[in-house]
Amino acid sequence: MEPPSNANVSYWIATSQADERPPLPGEAQADLVVVGGGITGLTAALIAAQGGARVILLEARWLATGTTGNTTAKVTVLHGLVYSELERRHGRETAWAYAKLNQLGLDTVRRLATELAIGCDLGEMDAVTYTEDPERRGEIEREVEVAGDLGLPASYTEAVTLPYPVAGAVRLAGQALFHPRRYTLGLADALEAAGGRVHESTRVLDVAVEGDRCIVRTGHGSVRSERVIVATLLPVVDRIGLFARTAPSRSYALSASAPGTSIAAMYLSIDTPTRSVRPHPDPAGTKLIVTGEEHKTGQEPEPMQRFDALESFARERLGVEPEHRWSAQDYRSADGLPFIGRLDPRTDRILGATAFRKWGMTNGTAAGVLLAERVLGRSHPLAPTFDTTRLRPLVGAPTFARENLDVARRFIGDRLRSKPSLDEVRPGHGAVVRLHGRDVAAYRDTDGTVSSVSARCTHLGCIVAFNAAERTWDCPCHGSRFDTDGRVIEGPATRRLRGVDIKDE
């Protein structure tokens, strides 16, 4: 597999190999097309195929090189302070449903990894949410109480295996960790063994419904199928406006050798800046995976400083030297719950899931199960709580309004902002410049060559911003990202930024 051209390659991608799958060879037919080869899509595809459906999975780039290949990969039901948050906002029943959904995800990962004998270093480990701030101990105690009331084996502790003391922590025993890319590639092998087809380098451009068939259009031909599951992080087919009910945020990650480390649990701090640390049993010696430094996609002017801050934390507080480093994004909904269900209000033929709030190993796996069950004609008791068409008008309304205000501000404000001239773009940097009345995203290579594309995001037209840490154009509205030649890296956009010949300008 050719590594992503302009990204910082994650430890998971660097330590897993897969045979490349050919693109879609032309017209095809299926019972189900799954769009997206991350943990959500591959779980849905495999379960549907095991249930007898003829499945074709289409992946725009390479399997498990999206967020699934760039995650921290804690497989746990303990998600920060999620239970006290959900209980406060939605009541106990919804918090309980969230716990059940994620327990389904955890159990499914364990079951599939074991039954399929996937070599993904699946192990058991406790998960811990902690604070170093004695003033926040009450929040920790509250999480222990709510999680306990929901039936989770949560306990309060101040004894941790970190190299620094904490003021209080929630411990959830018996959670899991694994190598996320090896696991997901194992699902792909099992899908093919169950009769499914997998095609990489096949970007889905559009899905139309004609009578009792969906037409899935790609640059390599179309597939006619009864149903489609869109599992592209934020769905690339979205006729119910999930893009306006979610927000993307990026986080930064690194791996480091830590032979003989005392760290023996999966840790997450609730303090600012947030830090996440977990060990991984690499054959060459234990590694630590460290993540943090979250910010809204396309809205960080100095992303290199995020990497620097995380690296300083690794050196100074964990005593390890960073090796691989990378960054990735995920979406969060206004009401804090994932969306799982219809992507078109008029039909049950196009389904999808998103908004895993950086907990998609379990949320995404469970979403895959629910979506596959729906395709197989079976209803799931948890489905209504997470349905994409749910109405929760009051909870999350201020966040929702703020997010949309922010998008509107970016849409208008970024057009009016004064822009540098092309001459001011330094080698190795990019900027949106104004040329003959148009916003142009210009990148000057280190040898001085300029690549120039339209700065208008092909999703809904916001102006992209340069990400100096990854040399990409990132959209501040809904998180689409493009390389310096304008090719889509991640959606919801499906079309590249239009090329602009600056000589013509």
Ligand X SMILES: Cc1cc2nc3c(=O)[nH]c(=O)nc-3n(C[C@H](O)[C@H](O)[C@H](O)COP(=O)(O)OP(=O)(O)OC[C@H]3O[C@@H](n4cnc5c(N)ncnc54)[C@H](O)[C@@H]3O)c2cc1C
- Smallest separation (angstroms) from ligand FES to the CB of 415: 13
Radius of gyration for the alpha carbons in the chain, expressed in angstroms and rounded? 22
Binding partner of residue 130 among ligand X, ligand FES, none, CB under 5 to 8 Å per kind?
Answer: none
| Alpha helices for 157-235 (secondary structure H) | 180-193
Residue nearest to ligand X (CB): 360
Q: Does 128 bind ligand X (CB under 6 A)?
A: no
| Helix H or strand E encompassing 438 | strand 438-444
Which residue carries 């003829």 as its tokens? 54
Round to whole Å and give the CA distance between 277 and 269: 9
For the record, the structure tokens of 272 come out as 């600012």
Q: Does 475 bind ligand FES (CB under 6 A)?
A: yes
Q: Does 333 bind ligand X (CB under 6 A)?
A: no
Binding partner of residue 37 among ligand X, ligand FES, none, CB under 5 to 8 Å per kind?
Answer: ligand X
User: Residue 281: what residue type?
Assistant: P
Beta bridge partners of 214: 209, 225
Q: Does 480 bind ligand X (CB under 6 A)?
A: no
Q: Which of 338, 364, 479, 486 binds ligand X (CB under 6 A)?
A: 364
Binding partner of residue 480 among ligand FES, ligand X, none, CB under 5 to 8 Å per kind?
Answer: ligand FES
Q: Which of 118, 367, 370, 462 binds ligand FES (CB under 6 A)?
A: 462
Round to whole Å and give the CA distance between 227 and 231: 13
Round to whole Å and give the CA distance between 353 and 338: 7
Q: From 86-94, 108-116, 191-199, 471-479, give the range in contact with ligand FES by CB under 6 A.
A: 471-479
Closest C-alpha among 478, 457, 470 to residue 331: 478
- Smallest separation (angstroms) from ligand X to the CB of 412: 27
Nearer to ligand X, 40 or 261 (CB): 40
Q: Which of 459, 467, 472, 497 binds ligand FES (CB under 6 A)?
A: 459
Q: Which of 173, 460, 468, 502 binds ligand FES (CB under 6 A)?
A: 460
Q: Does 204 bind ligand X (CB under 6 A)?
A: yes
Listing DSSP states for 339-381 in one string gives EEEESSTT-SSEEEEE--TT-HHHHHHHHHHHHHHHHTT---T
Q: From 10-18, 313-321, 357-365, 388-396, give the range in contact with ligand X by CB under 6 A.
A: 357-365
Q: From 120-128, 227-235, 407-415, 448-456, give the range in contact with ligand X by CB under 6 A.
A: 227-235
- Smallest separation (angstroms) from ligand X to the CB of 291: 5
| Alpha helices for 51-174 (secondary structure H) | 82-90, 92-115, 137-149
51 exposed, middle or buried (CB, 10 Å; 0-12, 13-18, 19+)?
A: middle
Round to whole Å and give the CA distance between 45 and 39: 10
With b meaning 16 or more CB within 10 Å and e meaning fewer, what string describes 369-386? bbbbbbbbeeebebbebb
Residues that bind ligand FES (CB under 6 A): 457, 459-462, 475, 477-480, 492-493
Residues in touch with ligand X (CB under 6 A): 35-41, 58-61, 65-68, 71-74, 203-204, 231-233, 236, 251, 253, 291, 328-330, 356, 358-362, 364, 490-491, 494
